[in-house]
Amino acid sequence: MLPRVTLDTMILFLQMFSNSDEAVINKKLPKELLLRIFSFLDVVTLCRCAQVSRAWNVLALDGSNWQRIDLFDFQRDIEGRVVENISKRCGGFLRKLSLRGCLGVGDNALRTFAQNCRNIEVLNLNGCTKTTDATCTSLSKFCSKLRHLDLASCTSITNMSLKALSEGCPLLEQLNISWCDQVTKDGIQALVRGCGGLKALFLKGCTQLEDEALKYIGAHCPELVTLNLQTCLQITDEGLITICRGCHKLQSLCASGCSNITDAILNALGQNCPRLR
């Protein structure tokens, strides 16, 4: 693994080889090697390098350098058109995108993103409060390789989103719908029937969930390793026992704030979940 390259190092590198003549550096090193060097730069440095010269602009903005993007540091400035432009630039190269906290990004931009970035595997929309079921419909239609999806605090999400994900994203392994309090047992039922490979499910603050929702999870998610049910106030021992019996690989369980559970669940966990940490 090569060390991370800073902008200063890159500029020094350019000066050493070109003496301000960018044609020379293009002759000294093949494009493939230059692209390899650029691949170790972060988003900020890539954008700054793109302003150095015309040749560097082409290299810095090459889609292969934009496989993983985290825009959290720029969240206040990110609008839908920025996401659309990124998706057009990256296309099929993009594998991981974090828009955590980007309040200005909505369904239209994410539809364009889904159409252009069909190889996306990890998508973080935590706190993108303009996101609705329409976004999940787009992801279902175009992003069948999606494995990790974070929709925490996207409070407009309903059971329709889970049904869409179930139909179009069968490889989904991790889903966070914490504080999506419109989700009910019907949504969970639809989700697990199509996404039986779920390994991590975060349902914190989904206050409408009942024991029946857990029964569906226990019956269809044998690979589940992590489950967060914090403040799911309607959950009782009955629901959690079905999880214990169906999810023997469970390692992490959070039931904080579930005031209806008793010591009985501890016995069930001890008997059925030997990997619990």
Stated pTM of the model = 0.86
- CB within 8 Å of 203: residues ≥ 6 apart: 177, 178, 183, 209, 227, 228, 229, 232
Distance (Å, whole) CA 219 – CA 221:
6
Strand partners, 96: 68, 122
Instruction: Please return the burial class of 17, using the count of CB atoms within 10 Å of its CB with bins 0-12, 13-18 and 19+.
Output: middle
The pLDDT score that the predictor gives to residue 163 is: 98
167-181 confidence digits (pLDDT tens): 999 999 999 999 999
In order of their start, the domains of the chain are 1-12+19-65 (1.20.1280), 68-272 (3.80.10.10)
Structure-token pair, residue 10 = 């890159």
The pLDDT score that the predictor gives to residue 54 is: 79
The pLDDT score that the predictor gives to residue 4 is: 52
210-227 confidence digits (pLDDT tens): 999 999 999 999 999 999
Structure-token pair, residue 36 = 């390899």
The pLDDT score that the predictor gives to residue 18 is: 46
Q: Which residues of the chain have pLDDT under 50?
A: 1-2, 15, 18-21
Coil, strand or helix at 124: strand
* Cβ atoms of 204 and 254 closer than 8 Å: yes
Q: How many Cβ atoms are within 10 Å of 230's Cβ, its own excluded?
A: 15
The pLDDT score that the predictor gives to residue 187 is: 98
The pLDDT score that the predictor gives to residue 22 is: 54
Distance (Å, whole) CA 44 – CA 42:
6
Determine the longest span between alpha carbons in the chain, in angstroms: 75
The pLDDT score that the predictor gives to residue 118 is: 97
* Cβ atoms of 263 and 236 closer than 8 Å: no
Instruction: Please return the burial class of 89, using the count of CB atoms within 10 Å of its CB with bins 0-12, 13-18 and 19+.
Output: middle
The pLDDT score that the predictor gives to residue 11 is: 58
The pLDDT score that the predictor gives to residue 21 is: 44
The pLDDT score that the predictor gives to residue 200 is: 98
Structure-token pair, residue 216 = 């569906």
* Cβ atoms of 226 and 247 closer than 8 Å: no
